[in-house]
Structure formats: structure tokens, C-alpha cells
């Protein structure tokens, strides 16, 4: 079945540093979503991507839909302590209602 | 506030109990989802409903029984659960026709004793 590989699994960074994470799929998606989840809460949607090559920003966050449609990237610039959490990617192929989720990137920001 | 609410937020039940989880979305979406999130595992899709019709059952054991009476409400009925069913159960919804954005509720933290 479809699988999503998300990396890195975890990151420890200093406040003010930039962060990059990515997801790769074994098959083509027509939608990529990026979420952040705080402990004990549901994932919160950060960015949605719908076209290959699309680059979308949300404040300090920028995400890209890979040209091959099998990958996506999320960058966080100038990290702050409240960026701490788990970041998930999710992809959806055409003709299905199913979203496939990555394993998450746990981000810790050291002040 | 994502427009998707879940109750209860926390639930502790014995293996012989019967309980229900409730999800309600106020977004006018037509598709609703149940996911299970266990520690150190990816989100596992359980069920998908589109316009009240079940379109996906991801090989979920029959001790989990979903119900979707209308496109705004989704239930997950639980009976004779096992301790390994303890997890965060998340509900989500999406419009599908207009966009592919999926919005989650806050989840129900379930503990099975």
C-alpha cells in the first residue's frame, strides 16, 4: 500500500534557526497537507498544496509541492519556542477520500 | 477552534463497558473521518463517511462501530474493547468538492482498563 516517509524523525534546534523537513511517497498525490500537533490536541492544518511545484507560505512557514508529485517540503524560518510540537505531512491521491499521513517530525526549540 | 468538536475529551472504560464517542462539524463539510493515534505510530485511518455513506473501513475490528446519522455528526460506538485500544481518537472532516483541506477535532483520549 501507499507509504509516506517523513524525515527527520526529530530535531533539536536553537531559537532563531531555520528548520526543514520533508515527506516522500511511493505513489503520486494530488494534495499535500502539513499539520502541527501539540500534546493532547488534534492536528492543526498549517498549509495545503494542490499543484506540482506550488510554493505556499503561511507566516514563517513555507511548503512546497514537489515536481514529481511524490514529495513535499516544509520550512520554518527563524524558529521560536512556540514552534515546538509534532509536524505531520499528509497526502491524498485523486479518486480517493483517504489521506495518508507521515510518521511526524518532533521539533524542539532551545531558547 | 477548527469547527470540529469532539466529546468527551477523556474517557476511561473497562473492557466490558459500552461507550460512544461523538464528533460534530460546523463547517458544512460532507466527508467525515475517524482516526486512531497511538504513541509512536502514524495516524491510522479507521473509517470514512461521504454524505452519510461509509466509503472506507480500514479493516477495523467489529468492536468499533461507526454511525453517521447526517453529514454533521459522526459517532464511534465502543464495546468490549482491549487495553491495546487505548489511544487518541481523532475525528476530521473535509469538503472534498470544494477543497481537500481536512480539519481535525481535538480528539478523545481513551484509556481501556
A66 phi and psi angles, rounded to 5 deg = -65, 150
A97/B56 CB distance under 8 A: yes
* pLDDT of amino acid B57: 86
* pLDDT in the model for residue A16: 96
**8-state DSSP, A50:** -
Q: Report the alpha-carbon distance of residue A96 to residue A42 in Å, rounded.
A: 23
Burial (Cβ within 10 Å: 0-12, 13-18, ≥19) of residue A110: exposed
DSSP, collapsed to helix, strand or coil, labels residue A6 as strand
Distance CA B90, CA B49 (A): 14
Q: How far apart are the first and last CA of chain B?
A: 31
Q: Give yes or no for residue B85 having a pLDDT over 60.
A: yes
Euclidean distance between CA atoms B108 and B80, whole angstroms: 18
Q: Which residues of B touch A (CB under 8 A)?
A: 2, 4, 6, 31, 33, 41-43, 45, 48, 50, 55-56, 88, 90, 92, 94, 96, 99-107, 109
- Residue pLDDT, tens place only, B38-73: 987 889 999 999 888 888 888 899 999 999 999 899
Please report, for residues A18, B6, B84, B99, the alpha-carbon distance to residue B25 in angstroms, rounded to integers and kept in the order given. 35, 9, 28, 16
Distance of CA B76 to the CA centre of its chain: 6
Which segments of chain A have a pLDDT < 50? none
Measured CA distances, A66 to A19, A62, B89 (Å): 18, 13, 31
- What residues of A are in contact with residue B32 (Cβ under 8 Å)? none
Q: What is the pLDDT of residues A10-42, one digit of tens each?
A: 999 999 999 999 999 999 999 999 999 998 899
Do A43 and A31 contact (CB within 8 A), yes or no? Answer: no
Instruction: Return the C-alpha torsion angle A20, A38, A101, B106, nearest 10.
Output: -150
Q: How far apart are CA A77 and CA A84, in angstroms?
A: 13
Q: Which residues pair with A24 in a beta bridge?
A: A5, A71
Q: Quick one: closest CA in B to A106, which residue?
A: B40
Whether chain B has a CB inside 8 Å of the CB on A31: the answer is: yes
Amino acid at each position: 500500500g501507499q507509504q509516506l516517509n517523513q524525515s527527520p524523525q526529530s530535531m533539536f534546534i536553537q531559537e532563531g534557526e531555520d528548520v526543514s523537513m520533508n515527506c516522500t511517497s511511493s505513489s503520486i498525490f494530488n494534495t499535500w497537507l502539513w499539520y502541527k500537533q501539540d500534546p493532547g490536541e488534534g492536528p492543526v492544518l498549517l498549509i495545503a498544496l494542490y499543484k506540482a511545484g506550488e510554493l505556499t507560505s503561511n507566516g514563517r512557514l513555507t511548503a512546497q509541492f514537489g515536481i514529481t508529485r511524490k514529495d513535499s517540503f516544509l520550512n520554518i524560518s527563524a524558529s521560536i519556542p512556540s514552534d515546538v510540537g509534532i509536524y505531520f505531512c499528509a497526502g491524498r491521491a485523486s479518486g480517493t477520500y483517504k489521506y495518508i499521513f507521515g510518521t511526524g517530525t518532533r521539533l524542539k526549540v532551545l531558547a | 477552534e477548527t469547527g470540529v468538536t469532539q466529546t468527551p475529551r477523556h474517557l476511561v472504560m473497562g473492557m466490558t463497558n459500552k461507550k460512544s464517542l461523538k464528533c460534530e462539524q460546523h463547517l458544512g463539510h460532507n466527508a467525515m473521518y475517524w482516526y486512531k493515534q497511538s504513541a509512536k505510530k502514524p495516524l491510522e485511518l479507521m473509517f470514512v463517511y461521504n454524505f452519510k455513506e461509509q466509503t472506507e473501513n480500514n479493516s477495523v475490528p467489529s468492536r468499533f462501530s461507526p454511525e453517521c446519522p447526517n453529514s454533521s455528526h459522526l459517532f464511534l460506538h465502543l464495546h468490549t474493547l482491549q487495553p491495546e485500544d487505548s489511544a487518541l481518537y481523532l475525528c476530521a472532516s473535509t469538503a472534498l468538492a470544494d477543497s481537500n483541506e481536512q480539519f481535525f477535532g481535538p480528539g478523545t483520549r481513551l484509556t481501556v482498563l
